[in-house]
């Protein structure tokens, strides 16, 4: 299939962010006198935005206490603002892949459930200013719902001036695959992130790539 554009998830797709997420989560938990969590809990809790991420890492007796969650979320955001660029890095060969895709004429965008300002800061610090235009790097905000709602994916397709059915949506989670399907885009899973091939396949991924080279072949044909 020939594509005019590709929209990429951030965490687990373009960048390995788990170290900074884990550090920030445990700093919040320590600050509030709550038990720290292991990396596996952090990995299991991501993909649905900061609020649900924090909820997933709280003790069971607090998971449905919305007032307590509000406080924890506020402290977590302060912690993550201090640490979100400490150890986060681009997955190997992704910078070269994105440059090749852009050179081949593919239009590129980023869509994440992470807070918008941090998405932009991470992308432009790690990937520079020559791959993505600022108006197509989008995170969680007050005017569009989070993935898997397709509204933000439709919005980006509109900015890029491409049809959804000629757009690939690339991500490492079931949330990304659901977003692609909901938006009528081509769902591409990558297995180097935080979810297994089995999860991606079950979610409905049309292609699952183990390496950036495999992803290049899918996107460029």
Predicted confidence (pLDDT) at residue 1 exceeds the cutoff of 90 = no
Whether 93 and 150 share a structural domain: yes
- In this prediction, residue 221 carries a pLDDT of 87
Q: Are residues 143 and 51 in the same domain?
A: no
Cα angle 170-173-175, degrees, rounded to a multiple of 5: 90
| Burial classification of residue 197, based on how many CB atoms lie within 10 Å of its CB (0-12 exposed, 13-18 middle, 19 or more buried) | middle
**In this structure, what token pair is assigned to residue 47?**
């993909």
CA 116, CA 128: separation in Å to the nearest integer?
A: 17
CA distances from 116 to 61, 101, 138, 142, 214 (A): 30, 24, 6, 10, 29
Q: Is 142 a catalytic residue?
A: no
Residue 175, classed as helix, strand or coil, is helix
The candidate with the shortest Cα–Cα distance to 44, out of 175, 195, 188, is 195
Regarding pTM above 0.75, the answer is yes
For residues 71 and 152, state if they share a domain.
no
Give the residue from 35, 50, 83 where a domain finishes.
83
Residue-number span of the structural domain to which 182 is assigned: 5-16+88-220
Task: From 47, 65, 83, give the residue that closes a domain.
Answer: 83
- pLDDT-derived band at 91 (thresholds 50, 70, 90) equals very high
Task: Dump pLDDT digits (tens) for 104-122.
Answer: 999 999 999 999 999 999 9
pLDDT, tens digit, for every residue of 3-52?
999 999 999 999 999 999 999 999 999 999 999 999 999 999 998 889 99
Question: Choosing from 9, 11, 16, 172, which is the catalytic residue?
Answer: 9
How many separate domains does the chain show? Answer: 2
User: Is residue 60 domain-shared with residue 116, that is, in the same domain?
Assistant: no
């Amino acid at each position: 299939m020939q594509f005019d554009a590709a929209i990429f998830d951030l965490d687990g797709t373009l960048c390995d962010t788990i170290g900074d997420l884990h550090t920030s989560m445990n700093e919040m938990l320590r600050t509030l006198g709550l038990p720290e969590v292991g990396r596996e809990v952090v990995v299991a809790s991501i993909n649905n935005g900061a609020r649900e991420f924090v909820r997933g890492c709280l003790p069971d007796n607090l998971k449905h206490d919305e007032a307590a969650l509000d406080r924890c979320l506020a402290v977590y955001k302060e912690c993550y603002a201090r640490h979100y660029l400490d150890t986060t890095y681009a997955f190997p060969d992704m910078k070269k892949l994105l440059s090749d895709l852009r050179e081949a004429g593919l239009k590129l965008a980023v869509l994440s459930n992470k807070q918008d300002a941090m998405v932009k800061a991470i992308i432009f610090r790690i990937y520079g200013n020559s791959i993505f235009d600022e108006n197509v790097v989008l995170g969680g905000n007050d005017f569009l719902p989070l993935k898997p709602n397709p509204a933000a994916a439709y919005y980006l397709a509109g900015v890029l001036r491409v049809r959804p059915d000629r757009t690939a949506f690339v991500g490492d989670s079931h949330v990304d695959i659901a977003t692609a399907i909901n938006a009528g885009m081509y769902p591409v899973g990558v297995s180097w992130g935080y979810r297994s091939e089995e999860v991606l396949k079950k979610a409905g991924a049309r292609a699952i790539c183990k390496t950036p080279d495999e992803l290049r072949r899918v996107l460029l044909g």
